Amino acid sequence: MEEDFFQKTLMGIYDYSVDLISNGTTEQIAGALYGLDQAKREIGELLERAKDRLIADMGEAQEMKLQGHTFEKKVGAPRKSWDHKTLADVVSTRISDMSIDMETGEVLKTPKEMVEQMIEFCGISYWRVKELSKIGINADNYCEVGEPKTNIIIRDN
């Protein structure tokens, strides 16, 4: 029942907003943008409260099947302020050490192969376009470039 209520309510908001954004005045669109932004924040807070409650209700269980859905607990700690330089040094040393046959002393990987392996551990999600251009590399040749997008930042007065 709750799922049906949420679905109908959200679809009503969606349909109303699409119509308003398509046909409204600039003032109406700005009002809708502000309202949707506020709703996003409040729904985010409600979402976190609902997750916390479900986690508490699940107790020691790692998974729960309810209303045709599977709810699984996943634990992960946020990681911030990485010491990239030190970690890169440790990982590159480890890769270099693992690239040497301990019995013969022969280097089994080329420097290029070692760099490629290093990238496997980095999980790079973006490249620093400005830095690449400093060494004569045009990043646009190595990625899909989308249309530039201008965003609106909403601040409370």
Residues of the chain with pLDDT > 90: what percent? 52
In this predicted model, what pLDDT tens digit does every residue of 75-118 receive, in sequence order?
A: 888 888 888 889 999 999 999 999 999 999 999 999 999 999 99
Question: Which ranges of the chain does DSSP label H, i.e. alpha helix?
Answer: 2-23, 26-58, 84-98, 111-122, 129-134
d(CA 35, CA 18): 13
The amino acid at 6: F
Tell me what the mean pLDDT of segment 44-50 comes to: 92
Backbone φ and ψ for 70, nearest 5 degrees, come out as: -105, 125
Cα 98 to Cα 86, 88, 120, 152: the distances in Å are 18, 15, 15, 49
C-beta atoms surrounding 21 within 10 Å: 13
pLDDT in tens, 52-66: 998 999 899 998 888
The 3-state secondary structure of 36-66 reads HHHHHHHHHHHHHHHHHHHHHHHCCCCEEEE
Q: What is the pTM of this model?
A: 0.58
Higher pLDDT, 125 or 46: 46
| pLDDT over 80 (residue 22) | yes
Reference 91, options 114, 118, 113; nearest CA is 118
Quick check: 1 pLDDT over 60?
no
